[in-house]
Amino acid sequence: MEPYLTFEHTLGISFHDKDLLKQAFIHRSYINEYKGTELEHNERLEFLGDAVLELVVTDFLFNRYADAEGRLTAYRSALVRTESISAAARGMGMNDLLMLSKGEAKDEGKARDYILANTFEAFIGAVYLDQGYDVAKTVIEHHLCPNIDDIIAEGSWRDAKSYVQEKAQEVYSVTPDYRLVSSEGPDHDKHFVMAIYFGDRKVAEGSGNSKQKSQQDAAEKALVAEGWDQD
C-alpha cells in the first residue's frame, strides 16, 4: 500500500477504507488477467464518480461565469473531455498507480488517456463514498477546474461544427453543407475527404479516418478560412 499512502499524503486525504482507494485504480483488464484478485474493478466507482464530477463542474461554472446556457455547456464538455481529465490524472500521479493487464500496461497513447480519465472518475467516486461530497468537490476544483482558464484562452471549448454553423447562419444566413469528396482504402482503414459548403461556395476540405472526423476537420479549416477562429 506504500504508493497509495504516498498518494494520499500528497493529496492531503486519508481514506478510512484503503481497499476502496485501491479499487479505484483496478482496470477490468487486470481482473481478467489476475483471476485471484480479491477486489473488483473500478467501473462501478467510475459510474458514481462521473455523476459527482458533472455536478461539481456544473456548479463551479455556473457560479464563476454569467454566460448563457449554451456556452456553459460547451465549457463543461471541454473540461470533462478525456484529454482534460487524463491530464489532471497524470498531474496527480495516477498513472503510476494503475493496475492493468500486461498488454494494457504497454500502451501509453490515447488508450491510456481514456483509462486515466475513467480512473479519475472512479477515484472521485471512491472519495465521495469514503470522505463525502465536500472533499470530492475540493479535489475536483483543485485538480481539474483550473484547466478552464487555458481552455477558454485557447478557444478549445468550441465544437468546430457547432460554431461554424452558428457563424454561417449569423453572417451568411446559410446552414453549412458537408459533401463527400473521396473515400479511399480498405474497410478497416478508410480515409475520407469531406468538403464544407456555404450554399454553392466550397469553403474548405477536411480529412480523417471517418466521415465525422473529416467533417470536424473541414469545419476547423472553415473557421480559419473565414477568420472566425479569432472571434
Residue with cell 478497416: 188
Query: Judging by beta carbons within 10 Å of its beta carbon (0-12, 13-18, 19+), is residue 43 exposed, middle or buried?
Result: middle
Q: How far apart are CA 47 and CA 20, in angstroms?
A: 14
pLDDT at 157: 76
The separation between CA 175 and the C-alpha centre of its own chain, rounded to angstroms, equals 28
Catalytic residue flag (residue 154): no
Q: In this predicted structure, what is the pLDDT of residue 1?
A: 58
Contact in structure between 61 and 75 (CB atoms under 8 Å): yes
Catalytic entry in 50, 104, 130, 220: 50
| pLDDT tens by residue, 59-82 | 999 999 998 787 888 899 889 988
Can you say whether residue 227 is alpha, beta or left, with left for phi > 0 and alpha for psi between -120 and 50 degrees? Answer: left
Each residue's pLDDT tens digit, 199-225: 999 999 999 888 888 998 899 899 889
Identical fold, 2-154 and 160-230: no
How crowded is residue 18: how many other Cβ atoms within 10 Å of its Cβ?
A: 14
Please report the pLDDT score of residue 230 as a whole number: 67
Write down the CATH number for the domain with range 160-230: 3.30.160.20
Catalytic pick from 121, 130, 217, 220? 121
Judged against a pLDDT cut of 70, whether residue 231 lies above it is answered with no
Top-confidence residue, 156 or 8: 8
When pLDDT is averaged across residues 107-115 and rounded to a whole number, the result is 83
Assign domain 2-154 to its CATH architecture.
Orthogonal Bundle (1.10)
Q: Is 33 a catalytic residue?
A: no
Contacts of 111 (CB under 8 A, 6+ apart): 104
Average pLDDT, the chain: 90
Overall size of the chain counted in residues? 231
**Domain-wise residue ranges, the chain:** 2-154, 160-230
**Which is more confidently placed, 142 or 107?**
142
